[in-house]
Amino acid sequence: MKGKDAWKFLVELESREIDLAVFRESVKPIIEQIKLREDEAVSEFTERLYGVKLSPEEFQVSEDAMDEALSQIGRDLDTIEELVERVREFYSMQRVEDFVVRRDESEYGVRWIPLERIGIHVPEGEGFSYFSTLIYTAVPAKVAGVHQIYVFTPPLAGGQVSPYLLAAAKLSGVKKMYRIGGPVAVAAMAYGTTTIQEVQKIFGTGDLLFMVAKRMVSPDVAVDFPSSPVEHVVVVGRGVDAERVAWELVSQAEHGLDTFLMVLTVDEALANEIAKEAEEILDGLSMPAVDDASVLVLDGWRELEEAVDVISPARVLVLGDPGEELRFTNVGAVLWDTPSPLADYALGVPQRLPSSRYSRFRGPLTLFDFMKSVLTVRGSDELVKEFGDLSVRIAKLEGMDFHARYIERFMRGP
């Protein structure tokens, strides 16, 4: 696709949105019933959605099971320990500092304090366990100073939880682990039950039922940003190896059929070669193609830059030398000539990126997501003398007479 057709397609992407009505109808009774019947409803909907019958006493994974997981995964424990350390190292370098103005005996400013209790949802299923997602959320929370970190994940057959998840949770400083997932977990985190304490903020990713549930409870509890489906745009210059670009696409397609993939290039011949290479790789892997993948040819690097800002993806990868500085505004992450799995796993940089065009107004997960700011003012007679007159004048201009009279009374003294 190129020229006007490409731009027409890009403009349509500005308003891309999944019709969530059918998902809301499915999630609504789950939330309502858990608010009403608490643990009983959690058990009921866990059995309905995941085919696992759990009593309230079985919701939480025992401390012994988490300890045993460390020995169950054998030498793979070294990999998890190394990743935990990489993430801890990166986030420990972030600076979250109070800002305070001091004037004689007075001071005022903003201080940052960690949230007390958060919940993290981590998807898992037969054959996959996203322990890296757990680590990339729980470890920054711990670095930020969060004391109580609860992790929720859908139960596997027989109520089992992957030992890789349990080991990652243990090493990341998770306080409690629950074998409850999806919208059931969201409702339990948001409103609490007899056995599950409500949290201050919900983090994590999951399927559309989970994402819709998180949105529906957001008036009552803080939630993070949508980070699924995966959105990956590859900006390609001339002379780039088509096979490398194809593998970049295929690796990201592994996240699921709903993955959003796009190639933007200035070279039509290269665009055709990339599409051909990707098809050949997929055929050889017996891997189905994703539903939302496209290759667009535009006129020059500036158009590529503008196209990225129109799409507002979670991540963009630039391959090839643009010959000039590019400034992407609406994007969660920018990689330059870096294989995306490196950033996904090993660097310790934020894995959680904003999807659904949230990159227009926010970036990836940082320590600030696990904290809140508090304004503090420590006054004195000198502070009143210095700023009292200004306060009175402003109050009178806004018609707040009692505000003005109070300050005037204070300024006169006893």
Q: Does 292 score more than 80 pLDDT?
A: no
Q: What distance lies between CA 70 and its chain's CA centroid?
A: 27
- Give the contacts of 323 (CB within 8 A, at least 6 positions apart): 301
Model confidence pLDDT, tens digit, residues 150-164:
999 999 999 999 999
- 131 domain residue, yes or no: yes
- 15 domain residue, yes or no: no
Choose one of 166, 198, 223: the last residue of a domain. Answer: 223
Choose one of 176, 206, 223: the last residue of a domain. Answer: 223
Residues 178 and 310 in one domain: no
Choose one of 193, 223, 253: the last residue of a domain. Answer: 223
Residues 256 and 355 in one domain: yes
Least confident among 177-191, 204-218, 250-264, 373-387: 250-264
Q: Are 12 and 297 in contact (CB under 8 A)?
A: no
Quick one: pLDDT at residue 14?
A: 61
Percent of the chain with pLDDT over 90: 67
CA distances to 13, 177, 297, 306 from 6, rounded to whole Å, are 11, 47, 7, 13
CATH number at residue 354: 3.40.50.1980
Residues 210 and 275 in one domain: no
Which one is predicted more confidently, 218 or 18?
A: 218
Residues 123 and 139 in one domain: yes
Residues 219 and 233 in one domain: no
- 328 domain residue, yes or no: yes
Q: With cut-offs at 50, 70 and 90, classify the pLDDT of residue 340.
A: very high
Residues 395 and 298 in one domain: no
Residues 208 and 236 in one domain: no
- 103 domain residue, yes or no: no
- 56 domain residue, yes or no: yes
Residues 33 and 123 in one domain: yes
- 159 domain residue, yes or no: yes
Q: With cut-offs at 50, 70 and 90, classify the pLDDT of residue 226.
A: confident
Q: Does 169 score more than 80 pLDDT?
A: yes
Q: Does 50 score more than 70 pLDDT?
A: yes
Domain that holds residue 407: 380-412
Region at 19 (left for phi over 0; alpha for psi -120 to 50; beta for the rest): beta
CB contact burial 326-358 (16+ within 10 A = b; e otherwise): bebebbbbebeeeebeebbeeebbbbbbbbbbb
Residues 191 and 257 in one domain: no
Domain count, the chain: 3
This prediction's pTM: 0.91
Quick one: pLDDT at residue 126?
A: 76
Q: Are 342 and 351 in contact (CB under 8 A)?
A: no
- The arithmetic mean of pLDDT across residues 73-90, rounded, is 96
Percent of the chain with pLDDT over 70: 93
Model confidence pLDDT, tens digit, residues 83-128:
999 999 999 999 889 999 998 889 999 999 999 999 999 998 777 7
Model confidence pLDDT, tens digit, residues 6-48:
767 677 766 556 667 788 999 999 999 999 999 999 999 999 9
Residues 184 and 277 in one domain: no
Angle at 224 between CA 219 and CA 227, to 5 degrees: 125
- 29 domain residue, yes or no: yes
Residues 258 and 315 in one domain: yes
Residues 255 and 296 in one domain: yes
- The arithmetic mean of pLDDT across residues 383-396, rounded, is 94
Pairing state between β 292-297 and 260-265 = parallel
- 14 domain residue, yes or no: no
Quick one: pLDDT at residue 164?
A: 96
Q: Are 137 and 204 in contact (CB under 8 A)?
A: yes
